[in-house]
Structure 1
Amino acid sequence: MSDKPFVILGKEVKKGERAFLELDVAKLHTRSSLKISIIVERAKQDGPTLLLMGGVHGDEVNGVAIVRDIIRKKYNKPTKGTVICIPVLNVFGYLNQTREFPDGRDLNRVFPGSSSGSLASQFAHRFTKDIAPLVDYVIDFHAGGSARENFPNVRGDLGNEKMFELAKVFGAPFILHSRCIAKSLRETLTKMGKTVILYEGGKSKHLDQFIISHGVNGALNIMTYLGMRDDAPTSSVHPVIIKKSKWIRAPFSGMFQPLVANGSKVAKKTLLGRITDPYGEFEKKVFAPLDGHIFNVNMAAIVNKGDALFHISVEIFE
Structure 2
Amino acid sequence: VFNQANGRIIIASFASLVSRMQQVANAAQRHNRKVAFVGASMVDAMRISRKLGYLDIPDELIVSIEQARSMPDPDVVIMCTGTQGEPSSIMGRLSTGTNRLFDIKPGDTVVLSSHPIPGNEESVYRTINRLFQRGANVIYDNIAPVHVSGHASQEEMKLLLHLTKPRYFVPIHGEIRHLKQHAHLAETVGILPENIATLENGQVLEFVDGEMRMGERVPTSYVFVDGSGVGDVSAEVMREREALSRDGIVLVNLRLARDNNRLLSDPEILSKGFGIAQDSDEIFTAARRKVTETVSRANGSLQKDVEQAVGDYLYGETRRRPMVFVTVSRF
**Fold-level similarity (TM above 0.5):** no
Larger relative contact order (Cα-Cα within 8 Å, sequence gap ≥ 6): 1
Greater share of residues in strand: 1
Greater share of residues in helix: 2
